[in-house]
Structure 1
């Protein structure tokens, strides 16, 4: 027996924006192919951080889309629902930005700058989002 999946209007709008970010992630993948072919000069540290930023963006946007489905299917509303819906997608932006911005620059960049703090803010957003939705699902 097939069940119909209905998204709330809020989740539909969030999903539409999240899906549009895939184009940015795709562009990042194209940029990485240029880096790996030697067309863009980067240190090994910068290459590693670029890969990590790209990977985190893709995985966390995908998880964020799943979170929308779980929140709506589980009937999680209010603060727990909003935090669960938005927390992981915010983490995707913050963690990726942390990897990219903390390794930017020219010359022999071999360690992150202070913008690495964005990674830790993103990790907090990820944890808060996942825990909020889990609590909402368990309470429902």
Structure 2
């Protein structure tokens, strides 16, 4: 594996520790230790799940980027798209329902579709690059 890939993999593994902390927070939420409304509870769960799944997905895709046949900008997108989405989407879920008793999500929830677009771009770049490397 390339040194840059190993470095990013290490960062992603350490980032999973924040997901553990989020799990502890969710336990407090679901047991009544942190008062929330139904919207907050469901969005916190979605944010936690997206963080975990996207970080693990980033770790799974990362080794394939070393062999991808892509121009440098697309290789950068293949390596960083999924980890970026793993930050933006959960942030949108958590920050989108901050407050004492929100009735609807706030503007921070726009991070969710932005993250989804970046996730799609990263997956496209990694997938196309892997196919090209496999055929070449």
TM-score scaled by structure 2? 0.93
- 3-state secondary structure, aligned to 1:21: helix
CA distance in 1, matches of 2:62, 2:131: 16
Shift of 1:136: 0.9
User: Quick one: distance in 2 between partners of 1:33 and 1:79?
Assistant: 41
Return the alpha-carbon distance in structure 2 between the equivalents of residues 126 and 24 of structure 1.
20
Please tell me whether residue 60 in structure 1 is matched to residue 25 in structure 2: no
Could you say what secondary structure the match of 2:97 adopts? coil
Which residue number in structure 1 is paired with residue 91 of structure 2? Answer: 97
Count of matched residue positions in the alignment of Structure 1 and Structure 2: 132
- State the secondary structure of the residue aligned to 1:123: helix
Partner of 1:29: 23
2-structure distance, mates of 1:117, 1:139: 33
Q: Say if 2:49 is the partner of 1:88.
A: no
Root mean square deviation of aligned Cα: 1.1
4+ long deviations beyond 6 Å? none
Query: Are the aligned partners of 2:68 and 2:132 in contact in 1 as well (CA < 8 Å)?
Result: no
Does the alignment pair 1:114 with 2:84?
A: no
Cα shift at 1:79: 2.1
1:98 to partner: Cα distance: 0.2
Unmatched tracts of structure 1, length 5 or more: 1-6
Q: Shift of the alpha carbon at 1:135?
A: 1.3
SS in 2 for 1:98: helix
- Distance of 1:129 and 1:102 partners within structure 2: 24
CA distance in 2, matches of 1:75, 1:41: 47
Q: Deviations over 1:57-98 (max 9, x none)?
A: 0000000011111212x3445222221111000001000000
Normalising by the residue count of structure 1, what TM-score does the alignment of the two structures yield? Answer: 0.90
